[in-house]
Amino acid sequence: GLQCGIVGLPNVGKSTLFNSISNNKAEAANFPFCTIEPNVGIISVPDPRLKILEGLVNPQRVLPTTIEFVDIAGLVKGASKGEGLGNQFLANIREVNAIVHVIRCFENDNIVHVDGRVDPVSDKEIIDTELQLKDLESIDKKINRVERAAKSGDVKMKKELTVLQQYRETLLAGKNARALQVSEEDKVAVADLQLLTAKPVIYVANVEEDSIHTGNKHVDALKAHVQHENAEVVVISAAIEAQIAELESQEDREVFLQEYGLTESGLNKLIRASYHLLDLITYFTAGEKEVRAWTIQKGWKAPQAAGVIHTDFEKGFIRAEVIKLADYQKYKTEQACKEAGKMSVEGKEYVVEDGDIMHFRFNV
Ligand code: GDP
């Protein structure tokens, strides 16, 4: 499944946010089976379309799609040189699909800031620098590997070397790899490195409870600073999230949010931002046994989408039967959709759309 790694300096609210994911009372009810590693929290992606399908199909169970958040603590100044819990944690980041970078935007004299003052831009740069140094190491290692072949006239290696050197210059200039404009073709040169600063990033501006609507000067500074990055800034209050996590029932949560004048939790905002940033969409499977949501990338064809359910579905793919949610709502049953000509039969080239209700036929 999709994994987002939570990073940030100490004392910015990472644990508070992570705990509100992993100790979430409502989620615990959804995933009683879920005891993964202690630094991994799982959260379901809220989707009102599941309720609609549940009403139509009346299944034994409903399973939302999920996102995993990994707590990557221990990132401090000097981590790339092995300080703090350094290297081990940097290795953790390599595995994730996206980075959630938590940044302290709350003032509180009782909570020590590692550098003695609240300065989101400088905080962000400290973390970025550590990740950039690590990427520089990976790039230099690879340059060493391809240099000889490039010099001896290997055309492919020569081209790779040029791309690698572009990345090197970008990083040396204190910029993140994601800032470099590179064609998809050229990106192949660094694909195996899984560069940390090339990963998509969401900045979480953690504010005090009473700034949740207005933001504050720290949020403004952060937003101004990252406006040219292809990134999202999500304003949340980890303190509010911690309180929401304690509430088990949907009704209690709604009352709580209303009291704060909020329409959704910060965690929801974060999930939506991840979907948007990563270009993700959802399709559904619907049967008497279960109604279930699945996450895929926009643009995926039917066999690849089927592979999310099971690799056999992809390997043995024959065809897919597709119903649009609006048609399902109108005709009420699969059979009625079929009779009305609203169930299309699609082959290997079909590009799955957000909200499609899919039924895959496959050989085993
Ligand atoms: P971490 O080191 O980044 O994991 O930070 P923690 O989550 O442990 O938070 C450090 C301190 O800041 C704790 O005392 C939290 O209670 C406090 N804190 C975290 N988020 C907020 C917030 O949104 N507002 C305020 N006022 N305090 C917070």
Report the percent of the chain where pLDDT is more than 70: 94
Determine, yes or no, domain membership for 233.
Answer: yes
| Beta carbons within 8 Å of 160's beta carbon, 6+ residues apart | 146, 150, 188, 189
d(CA 171, CA 99): 18
Nearest CA to ligand 1 atom 9: 13
Q: Is 75 in the pocket of ligand 1 (CB under 6 A)?
A: no
Atom in ligand 1 nearest the alpha carbon of residue 10: 2
Atom in ligand 1 nearest the alpha carbon of residue 242: 20
| The pLDDT of residue 30 is above 70 | no
Residues 186 and 141 placed together within one structural domain of the fold = yes
What confidence tier does 36 reach under pLDDT thresholds 50, 70, 90? low
User: How much is the average pLDDT of 282-294?
Assistant: 96
Q: Is 83 in the pocket of ligand 1 (CB under 6 A)?
A: no
- Who wins on pLDDT, 63 or 110? 63
Tell me whether residue 197 is annotated as binding.
no
Q: Is 10 in the pocket of ligand 1 (CB under 6 A)?
A: yes
Q: What DSSP line would sit under 124-144, residue for residue?
A: HHHHHHHHHHHHHHHHHHHHH
Determine, yes or no, domain membership for 53.
Answer: no
CA-nearest of 129, 119, 2 to 68 is 2
E-strand ranges in the chain read: 2-7, 40-44, 61-63, 66-71, 98-104, 201-206, 232-236, 280-286, 290-297, 317-323, 344-346, 357-362
| Burial class, 356, CB count within 10 angstroms (exposed 0-12 / middle 13-18 / buried 19+) | buried
Residue 79 has what DSSP assignment? G
Residues 23 and 145 placed together within one structural domain of the fold = no
Using the mean position of ligand 1's atoms as its centre, give its distance from the Cα of residue 112 in Å: 10
Nearest CA to ligand 1 atom 1: 11
**Tens of pLDDT along 255-266?**
999 999 999 999
Atom in ligand 1 nearest the alpha carbon of residue 240: 23
User: How much is the average pLDDT of 178-204?
Assistant: 94
What confidence tier does 34 reach under pLDDT thresholds 50, 70, 90? low
Atom in ligand 1 nearest the alpha carbon of residue 8: 3
| The pLDDT of residue 87 is above 70 | no
Residue 221 confidence (pLDDT): 96
Q: Is 21 in the pocket of ligand 1 (CB under 6 A)?
A: no
Residue 73 confidence (pLDDT): 74
CA-nearest of 87, 98, 78 to 7 is 98
Residues 100 and 231 placed together within one structural domain of the fold = yes
- Who wins on pLDDT, 174 or 32? 174
Determine, yes or no, domain membership for 308.
Answer: yes
Q: Which domain holds residue 9?
A: 2-46+65-116+200-277
Residues 183 and 329 placed together within one structural domain of the fold = no
d(CA 263, CA 258): 7
Residue 24 confidence (pLDDT): 79
Q: What kind and span of H or E run contains 334?
A: helix 334-339
Nearest CA to ligand 1 atom 24: 208
Residue 86 confidence (pLDDT): 59
| Beta carbons within 8 Å of 57's beta carbon, 6+ residues apart | 286, 287, 288, 291
| Beta carbons within 8 Å of 111's beta carbon, 6+ residues apart | 11
Structure-block tokens of residue 179 = 């800032």
Atom in ligand 1 nearest the alpha carbon of residue 238: 23
| The pLDDT of residue 315 is above 90 | yes
Tell me whether residue 14 is annotated as binding.
yes
Residues 102 and 77 placed together within one structural domain of the fold = yes
Using the mean position of ligand 1's atoms as its centre, give its distance from the Cα of residue 38 in Å: 19
For residue 104, the one-letter residue type is R
Q: Is 204 in the pocket of ligand 1 (CB under 6 A)?
A: no
State ipTM: 0.94
d(CA 139, CA 150): 15
- Report the CATH number that the domain containing residue 323 is assigned in CATH: 3.10.20.30
Average pLDDT, the chain: 90
Determine, yes or no, domain membership for 75.
Answer: yes
Residues 272 and 305 placed together within one structural domain of the fold = no
Determine, yes or no, domain membership for 223.
Answer: yes
72: left (phi over 0), alpha (psi -120 to 50) or beta: beta
Q: Is 112 in the pocket of ligand 1 (CB under 6 A)?
A: no
Determine, yes or no, domain membership for 52.
Answer: no
What confidence tier does 287 reach under pLDDT thresholds 50, 70, 90? very high
Residue 256 confidence (pLDDT): 96
Residue 31 confidence (pLDDT): 59
Q: Probe ligand 1: pick from 22, 72, 100, 111, max atoms within 8 Å of CB?
A: 111
Residues 107 and 227 placed together within one structural domain of the fold = yes
Residues 10 and 112 placed together within one structural domain of the fold = yes
User: How much is the average pLDDT of 267-295?
Assistant: 94
- Report the CATH number that the domain containing residue 92 is assigned in CATH: 3.40.50.300
The residue among 179, 197, 215 that closes a domain is 197
d(CA 268, CA 271): 5
CA distances from 282 to 199, 279, 313 (A): 22, 10, 17
- Phi and psi at residue 55, to the nearest 5°: -60, -35
d(CA 201, CA 233): 9
Q: In the block, which residue shows the tokens 């911690």?
A: 242
Report the percent of the chain where pLDDT is more than 90: 73
d(CA 25, CA 224): 36
Q: Is 237 in the pocket of ligand 1 (CB under 6 A)?
A: yes
Q: Probe ligand 1: pick from 9, 16, 23, max atoms within 8 Å of CB?
A: 16
Residues 191 and 204 placed together within one structural domain of the fold = no
| The pLDDT of residue 172 is above 70 | yes
Angle 309-71-278 from CA coordinates, rounded to 5°: 50
The residue among 277, 307, 341 that closes a domain is 277
Residues 38 and 184 placed together within one structural domain of the fold = no
Q: What DSSP line would sit under 146-175, residue for residue?
A: HHHHHHTT-HHHHHHHHHHHHHHHHHHTT-
Tell me whether residue 129 is annotated as binding.
no
Q: H-type helices in 23-65, by residue range? A: 25-30, 48-57
Tell me whether residue 78 is annotated as binding.
no
Residues 110 and 140 placed together within one structural domain of the fold = no
**Tens of pLDDT along 94-127?**
889 999 999 999 988 777 776 778 899 999 999 9
What confidence tier does 49 reach under pLDDT thresholds 50, 70, 90? very high
Q: Is 11 in the pocket of ligand 1 (CB under 6 A)?
A: yes
What count of other Cβ atoms lies within 10 Å of the Cβ of residue 12?
26
| The pLDDT of residue 47 is above 80 | yes
d(CA 28, CA 11): 26
Residues 262 and 135 placed together within one structural domain of the fold = no
**Tens of pLDDT along 266-278?**
999 999 999 998 9
User: How much is the average pLDDT of 12-37?
Assistant: 75
